[in-house]
Amino acid sequence: MKRIVLALSIIVVGCQAANVEDTVLKLVEEGKVSQAQEIVRKSGATGRELGRLQGILYHSYGMADSALVYLKQAYADAPNDPVISLRLAEVLFWKKDLRTVRTIVEKVSDKSVATGPRKWETMMHKAQLQSWLQEFDSSRRLYQGVLDASGTPDAVKVQCRYHLAEIAAWKKDFAKSLSMLDALLASIPGYVDASLLKGQILEWQGKYAEARNVYTSGLQRHPTDALLRARLEKLSWVK
Q: What is the pLDDT of residues 106-117, one digit of tens each?
A: 999 999 998 877
Across 162-176, average pLDDT: 97
* Mean pLDDT computed over every residue of the chain: 90
Q: What is the dihedral of CA 58, 26, 130, 218, to 10 degrees?
A: -100
Q: What is the pLDDT of residues 194-219, one digit of tens each?
A: 999 999 999 999 999 999 999 999 99
Left if phi > 0, otherwise alpha if psi is -120 to 50, otherwise beta: which for 173? beta
pLDDT on residue 131: 96
Whole-prediction pTM value?
0.84
Helices assigned H by DSSP within the chain? 2-29, 33-43, 47-61, 64-77, 82-94, 98-107, 110-113, 119-132, 136-148, 154-170, 174-187, 192-204, 208-221, 226-234
Round to whole Å and give the CA distance between 227 and 35: 28
Across 119-139, average pLDDT: 95
